[in-house]
Amino acid sequence: MAFWLARARSGQDHDWIQRFDPRFWTVNFPRPMMAAATVTAPDTLRIDLAFLTRGDLAGVIWESADRFDHPLLAYATDRDYARTTLSFRWRSAGVIPLDAGQGPTLTIEGRDAGGSRRTWYVRLWNYRVSGGPEDARIVLPFSALHAGWSADDRSDPVHPGAIDRLFISLVPPGYGGAGTEALSAPVEAWAELSELRCDGARAMLEIGDVLVPPHGLACATAFDDQGTQTPQRVLRNVEGLGYRGSVLHYVGMSHFMRLAAKDGAFTVDPLAPPLCAPAAAWHAAFLAEARTRGLAPILSLSFELLARHCPEAWQQRAADGTAARTGWAPPSALLSPAHPDAMAWLGRVAAALARLMRQAGVAVRVQIGEPWWWIDAAGRPCLYDAAARGRFGGNPPVIADCGAPLDAAQRTLLDQAGAVLAEATAALRDAIRAAVAPLPAEVLLLVFLPGVLDPARPEVRRANLPPGWAAPAYDRLQLEDYDWLTAGADALREQAHAAATARLGYPATAQDYLAGFVLTPDQPEAWRRIDSGCDEALARGAHEVFVWALPQICRDGFVRLPPPAEEDPMQAFDDVPYPLALGRDAVVAPEFSTSVTVTASGFERRNALWSDARLRFDLGPGIRSAAELAVLLAFFRARRGAARGFRLRDPIDFSSNGMTGTPTALDQWLGTGDGVTTRFALVKRYGDDDPQERRITRPVPASLRVSVGGQSVTEGWSLAPGGIVRFVVAPANGAEIRAGFLFDVPVRFAQDRLELAGHGANAGEVASVPVIEVREAA
């Protein structure tokens, strides 16, 4: 299906918001503290905080440039605050008050009148017009702001014309600058900016107001990545970009938990309520906003936990005692399914999430995300923490590499590990359901296929895809294949989906699919594969298809376009050939589109707008009899004029071998094998120096010849729609893939009217029959 990577609005709808709209503030803070922003009224921003050390400082931030929203939904950049006034009512508790030495300060980052970077520190207390240290009315006229402690000091005026961002700092009682010493007890605090108002010049900002029609996909979000934004802002993007139905929200592994100081570190407190106050407030607001927008949230938790907050005894370990670590920075640990305290805490987290959903009045739906025994880069399974050793008899056999042949004892160990994992996820399922009984709860299980069905490590499925997960143990099975999808490893993906279905028995209608993800913004081709993966999942009947995840969607501007209606004439194509041979008099005209600008001095600047030519034909000169005219008329009517496409053989250029030669398996280079990619598009190249490449989407199937590494191959591949050669097994790394073929051009009639020359109708003369090439997805 079509998609678009939007970089900026270009004629799309827009609206206006008041500058400093509470939805678009963010928070920032150092670990291990926590802060979250929510919108509790149209003019009110609330910040919930959990301070843990004397050095904790949270910033409540407004940025002049929108870095978080999708380009089609972002607000316009405006760094000029001259003659602009921000006013609000300030209320707080648990933070140093306005009148104290370290009280809330407005930090303004920008440039001075000379263009040099500057930072100003403006004491909010100096701009109080009424009220006291914890409940005051603040008015900030940007053209009359001054940095410094004293309200009477006017020596350092703020330059309002070039402000990049501003933030209000919040610190706990006992604040000690950069100190990391734990507070005597954690401090839960809050601050509120209500009656937020912007007056004066440039008080309004243009903002994107796009509403993409629903396109059949759902969206995934993540608290670790988006918890610094307000829930209202996050879900505005979800709805505006056309995602409907479920919104899958990963609660994360680093910010939601309540922590306690122990032995110089902050780890999860197994006895306290599992969710810290800011995370609980944010998720309650998220669920309420989802309900308001008609979205069906799914809350997801996993066995992953930021390593610095994970108790040592809870962590999975390799046989030499090395703790399991993911490749993220900072690293995360994996909870051992065998450790009773770790699993009990995770069960309390799951129950707390279920209760939040019940309280918000939404259906209780919780995902158990990627539960597995970690396999490190060397292939070592992390089955050997103390609790796991105890479950496996005290001295389980060592597996040095899951990719090596395993003996019976080692295979039995993996089976035992799978049983323990299945037991742990079943306990989580039961905790979720018990927390909201007698109300129903839907529990979903997410499996990362490249990690559990890697053909190089075939026995891993014993531990990480256990039979205990078989249907109907969970309401739905969710599958993801990110690495293989974006790498083009289609054969591995298909085999893994089939294997998971066969092993666990969930039909396609009881499976969800997660497509993603794009790690860095310089990978646009990955979005093409993600979009294609979504189409494949919809075609095989998946219950829901999710794009993972919203931060990358917004960063790269991904826009999934709605599907065309079945009767859409622009999409209709009849895979039938034009029934008449083109005579020598038929006109063939390839065309490009080039923008040419002539400068005042006579030089030219040329910009090629198309990478491939589009063909035009005139079939009229080829009609030589009344019988042929009758065939043409019937064919024209059957195509409904220009409504439906068809195949046409170009009499001048229809072969991969020269223009009209007999195809051979070595004619055209399609690509080079990498041991992963299984799909190669048919192309034809023109010219030797910087050749022009043409995609061939309508080859003649019987004519196709394929070679790998210089050797013709007749088995192990097939021709997929769109001119794609699809291998069962990926060609080896470095092997050249070539092909030869005959091909037709996809065309349509250029107009809905067929003009006949009246004086020559009996002779079958047709003045003009123009047809034009149809661009097909490549």
Each residue of 328-381: pLDDT tens digit?
A: 888 999 999 999 999 999 999 999 999 999 999 999 999 999 999 999 999 999
Distance of alpha carbon 143 from the chain centroid: 41
Distance of alpha carbon 689 from the chain centroid: 38
Neighbours of 546 (CB within 10 A): 25
Secondary structure (3-state) at 523: coil
pLDDT tens-digit map of 25-35: 999 999 999 99
List the one residue out of 498, 509, 250 whose CA is nearest residue 368.
250
pTM, two decimal places = 0.88
769, containing H or E segment: none
CA separation for the pair 135, 130 (Å, rounded)? 9
Handedness of CA 658, 663, 664, 670 (dihedral sign): positive
Is pLDDT of 194 > 60? yes
- Look at residue 593 in the predicted model and tell me its pLDDT: 75
What's the mean pLDDT in 434-443?
A: 98
pLDDT tens-digit map of 222-251: 999 999 999 999 999 999 999 999 999 999
CA separation for the pair 173, 51 (Å, rounded)? 9
pLDDT band at 566 (very low <50, low <70, confident <90, very high): low
pLDDT tens-digit map of 84-110: 999 999 999 999 999 999 999 999 999
Residue 448 to residues 277, 369, 493: CA-CA distances in angstroms? 31, 9, 11
CA separation for the pair 421, 381 (Å, rounded)? 13
CA separation for the pair 724, 682 (Å, rounded)? 6
Which residue in the block uniquely carries the two structure tokens 């243009």? 206
Whether residue 749 is preceded by a cis peptide bond, meaning omega within 30 degrees of 0, is no
CA separation for the pair 439, 437 (Å, rounded)? 5
Percent of the chain with pLDDT over 90: 84
Write the burial class of residue 689 (CB in 10 Å: 0-12 exposed, 13-18 middle, 19+ buried).
Answer: exposed
What one-character DSSP code corresponds to residue 636?
H
Handedness of CA 289, 291, 295, 298 (dihedral sign): positive
pLDDT tens-digit map of 374-389: 999 999 999 999 999 9
Structure tokens of 473? 């143990």
Is pLDDT of 763 > 80? no
Write the burial class of residue 595 (CB in 10 Å: 0-12 exposed, 13-18 middle, 19+ buried).
Answer: exposed
CA separation for the pair 388, 420 (Å, rounded)? 9
Neighbours of 162 (CB within 10 A): 17
The phi and psi torsions of 62 (rounded to 5 degrees) equal -120, 130
Residue 592 makes CB contacts below 8 A (sequence gap 6+) with 608, 609, 610, 613, 614
Is pLDDT of 697 > 80? yes
Residue 529 to residues 214, 525, 526, 679: CA-CA distances in angstroms? 20, 7, 5, 11
Cβ atoms 155, 75 nearer than 8 A? no
Residues in the chain: 778
Which residue in the block uniquely carries the two structure tokens 């903002």? 207
- Look at residue 611 in the predicted model and tell me its pLDDT: 67
In the sheet that holds 717-720, the strands lie side by side as 679-681, 724-727, 717-720
What's the mean pLDDT in 255-284?
A: 94
Residue 258 to residues 78, 112, 597: CA-CA distances in angstroms? 38, 42, 63
CA separation for the pair 395, 692 (Å, rounded)? 64
CA separation for the pair 692, 696 (Å, rounded)? 13
Is pLDDT of 450 > 80? yes
- Look at residue 570 in the predicted model and tell me its pLDDT: 45
pLDDT tens-digit map of 461-473: 999 999 999 999 9
Neighbours of 43 (CB within 10 A): 17
Dihedral class, residue 644 (left if φ above 0, else alpha if ψ from -120 to 50, else beta): beta
| 707-731 burial code (b ≥16 CB/10 A, e <16) | bbeeeeeeeebebeebbbbbbeebb
DSSP alpha helices (H): ranges in 612-702? 626-638
Neighbours of 609 (CB within 10 A): 8
- Look at residue 758 in the predicted model and tell me its pLDDT: 47
Is pLDDT of 761 > 50? no
- Look at residue 597 in the predicted model and tell me its pLDDT: 78
Structure tokens of 637? 């009517």
Write the burial class of residue 47 (CB in 10 Å: 0-12 exposed, 13-18 middle, 19+ buried).
Answer: buried
What's the mean pLDDT in 194-206?
A: 98
Cβ atoms 515, 548 nearer than 8 A? yes
The phi and psi torsions of 422 (rounded to 5 degrees) equal -60, -40
pLDDT tens-digit map of 71-83: 999 999 999 999 9
The phi and psi torsions of 510 (rounded to 5 degrees) equal -110, 20
Secondary structure (3-state) at 225: helix
What one-character DSSP code corresponds to residue 580?
S
pLDDT tens-digit map of 654-669: 999 999 999 999 999 9
Write the burial class of residue 18 (CB in 10 Å: 0-12 exposed, 13-18 middle, 19+ buried).
Answer: middle
Q: Which residue has the higher pLDDT, 759 or 28?
A: 28
Is pLDDT of 40 > 90? yes
pLDDT band at 621 (very low <50, low <70, confident <90, very high): confident
CA separation for the pair 37, 46 (Å, rounded)? 6
- Look at residue 772 in the predicted model and tell me its pLDDT: 94
Write the burial class of residue 91 (CB in 10 Å: 0-12 exposed, 13-18 middle, 19+ buried).
Answer: middle
What's the mean pLDDT in 694-717?
A: 96
What one-character DSSP code corresponds to residue 320?
T
Q: Are strands 511-515 and 476-480 parallel, antiparallel or unpaired?
A: parallel
CA separation for the pair 537, 545 (Å, rounded)? 7
Is pLDDT of 291 > 60? yes
Residue 651 makes CB contacts below 8 A (sequence gap 6+) with 581, 582, 584, 586, 588
What's the mean pLDDT in 201-208?
A: 97
What's the mean pLDDT in 714-740?
A: 94
Q: Which residues pair with 692 in a beta bridge?
A: 686
Write the burial class of residue 701 (CB in 10 Å: 0-12 exposed, 13-18 middle, 19+ buried).
Answer: exposed
Provide Rg for the chain, Cα atoms.
32
Structure tokens of 519? 């790690």
List the one residue out of 536, 577, 569, 572 whose CA is nearest residue 699.
577
Which residue in the block uniquely carries the two structure tokens 């080039």? 594
pLDDT tens-digit map of 159-193: 999 999 999 999 999 898 777 899 999 999 999 99
